[in-house]
Amino acid sequence: MSAPSKRLCVGIVTGAQGIRGAVRIKSFTADPIDIDAYGPVSDEAGTRTFTLKSVGQSKGVVVATLSGVTDRNAAEALRGLHLFVDRDRLPPADEEEYYHADLLGLAAELVGGQALGRITAVYDFGAGDALEVTGADGAVVMVPFTKAAVPVVDLAAGKVVIDPPAGLFEKPEPPQPLEQQAALAGDPS
């Protein structure tokens, strides 16, 4: 297996299925049932490797067998195990699409060239991805991962260019005491 930084998590074992060692896997691949198309999987450290074979789907998860897992107890012991594959076994990302792992560690700079920090995490909150950028001072800012906010992603140069939406870097106003809020609202009490 490759070094951990060159591997991607393709799924997580969520529990056992039946008594013969099958497991339920939440798959992160484009087509969940294809989780076995990328070859052997391993744990995050790369110390345990399994041959994975998808056998079906049930209630939003893939049912699969893992080599060496032959009974329910062994399958249950794997609950929570993240499954990784070598990055080079995955298909190339489409144009304007990126694997989250390829974005981690990229330098982030503003449109004018000012250094902002590095991408330390990528989140998917359902409405779209967000990049967590951590500055040299430890300050963290969340940037929507849209073409408007991140017009340039240059993997070869190891950077992204950020054109922040208005207000992204403004500090919020401190909360006002309830008495002041009531006075501003015109509440006579």
CATH code: domain of residue 33: 2.40.30.60
Q: Is the domain of 64 the same as that of 110?
A: no
Domain with 40, as residue range(s), is 4-89
Q: Is the domain of 44 the same as that of 118?
A: no
d(CA 70, CA 19): 8
Q: Could you tell me if 99 and 93 are in contact, meaning their C-beta atoms sit under 8 angstroms apart?
A: yes
Q: Is the domain of 123 the same as that of 71?
A: no
d(CA 41, CA 66): 9
Scanning the chain, the segments in alpha helix (DSSP H) are 72-76, 100-103, 178-184
CATH of the domain at 118: 2.30.30.240
**Which of 39, 58, 89 corresponds to the end of one domain?**
89
C-alpha distances out from residue 91 to 10, 97, 127, 169, Å: 13, 12, 25, 36
| Per-position pLDDT tens, the chain of length 189 | 434 457 899 999 999 999 999 999 999 988 999 999 999 999 999 999 999 999 999 888 999 999 999 999 999 999 999 999 998 898 888 888 898 889 999 999 999 999 999 999 999 888 889 999 999 999 999 999 999 999 999 999 999 999 998 888 777 677 767 776 666 666 555
**Which of 89, 109, 131 corresponds to the end of one domain?**
89
User: Is 167 within a domain?
Assistant: no
pTM score: 0.69
d(CA 138, CA 69): 43
User: Is 173 within a domain?
Assistant: no
User: Is 72 within a domain?
Assistant: yes
User: Is 44 within a domain?
Assistant: yes
Number of domains in the chain: 2
∠46-47-52 over CA atoms, to 5°? 75
C-alpha distances out from residue 141 to 84, 97, 111, 168, 187, Å: 28, 22, 16, 8, 36
